[in-house]
Amino acid sequence: MNQLIPMMCYLLLAPLCGAIMEGFDRKISARMQRRVGPPILQPIYDVIKLWKKQVIVVEKSQNFLLLSYLLLTVMTGCMFFAGTDLLMVLFVLSTSAVFLYFSAVISGSPMSTMGALRELVQDMAYEPAVLLAAVGFYLTTGTFDVHGIMNSDVSAIVKMPGFFIAFVFVLTIKMRKSPFDSAQSHHPHQELVKGITTEMGAKNLAFFQITEWYEIILMLGVEALFIVNKNPWSWLAAVIVILLTYFLEILIDNTSARMKWQDMLKLSWIVTLLAGGVNLMALMLIR
């Protein structure tokens, strides 16, 4: 029962929270650009509108692939909030990305295929930092179990500052924000040629958007693991850190130009090796 409640909360509330966060993203971005911006609930209105549109796809199997992408991502989040093995959660999440790649490639569109290839490059850019963070949690707490990490005496960030820096850095890639939005921009004005989602429309594009909401809540949940411990006040600290990080991502997005995928790959690996790698060696020496 203790595991079922967090799972149900994630299943029902994650897309709503993700949509509201995206709404605030658009509103804050507009204010930074001296515009009024859309309503906070505009992302939800967009998905409802997409859901009502007629479904026309180049390849019918794209429906199955996108649905698989959604279901695997939801399953990953449920596993995480149920407190299961963090390493297994990250492996399943990587598997869901494969379905997204094939859903774009199978359309045969050159724009969509190019976006899919760049999506693979983005996966290569952020996966090392995410997996190293899981190893760091194990070295710090002695377990991959999410519940075990959350019930530590002190926050993991005390011994994992380098891993935290690397994770926040690659979170920009995962959130598809500038300067690392080479596969698909989240900005609504790029609708006709939008990378990996170019050939997605109607319900398929709605599936993709809902999946993104589930995934961002999951990634922010992983970030919270760096802060949460036995102390109940650590939950408030985790919320504050998440909100500050999200605002930082919006600020970077609105002040940075898109970077070439080659530079993105090099920079992300350099940060991962310098921040995460040095932190990893320090933890191994301490043990």
pTM for this entry: 0.90
Question: 129: which DSSP letter?
Answer: H
Residue 181 confidence (pLDDT):
73
Contacts of 213 (CB under 8 A, 6+ apart): 14, 15, 17, 18, 19, 22, 43
Beta partners for 145? Answer: 85
Residue 118 confidence (pLDDT):
83
CB atoms within 10 A of CB 62: 21
Distance between CA 267 and CA 263 in Å, rounded? 6
What torsion, rounded to 10 degrees, do the Cα atoms 38, 179, 93, 141 define?
-110
DSSP assignment of 106-172 equals TT--HHHHHHHHHHHHHHHHHHHHHHHHHHHHHHHHS--BHHHHHT-SS-GGGT-HHHHHHHHHHHH
Q: Tell me how many domains the chain contains.
A: 1
Residue 213 confidence (pLDDT):
93
Q: How far does CA 135 lie from the centroid of its chain?
A: 19
State phi, psi for 145 to the nearest 5 degrees.
-70, 130
Instruction: Report mean pLDDT in 10-residue bins for the chain, 287 residues.
Output: 81 92 91 87 90 74 86 92 89 88 80 81 86 89 88 89 91 84 59 66 84 92 92 92 92 84 84 87 79
SS (H, E, C) 55-71: CCCCCCHHHHHHHHHHH
Question: 260: which DSSP letter?
Answer: P
Residue 121 confidence (pLDDT):
83
Residue 128 confidence (pLDDT):
86
Count of residues in the chain: 287
Residue 15 confidence (pLDDT):
92
Question: 231: which DSSP letter?
Answer: S
Range of the domain at 276: 4-286
Contacts of 70 (CB under 8 A, 6+ apart): 207, 210, 211, 214
| 3-state class (DSSP) for residue 155 | coil
Q: What does R_g of the chain's alpha carbons equal in angstroms?
A: 19
Q: How far does CA 247 lie from the centroid of its chain?
A: 15
Query: What pLDDT, in 10s, does the model give residues 208-244?
Result: 889 999 999 999 999 999 999 988 899 999 999 999 9
Beta partners for 265? Answer: none
Burial (Cβ within 10 Å: 0-12, 13-18, ≥19) of residue 201: middle
Taking alpha carbons only, the member of 19, 50, 70 closest to residue 211 is 70
CB atoms within 10 A of CB 282: 15
Query: What pLDDT, in 10s, does the model give residues 144-169?
Result: 898 889 988 889 998 999 999 999 99
Query: How is residue 122 written in tokens?
Result: 């983005």
Angle at 37 between CA 33 and CA 39, to 5 degrees: 155
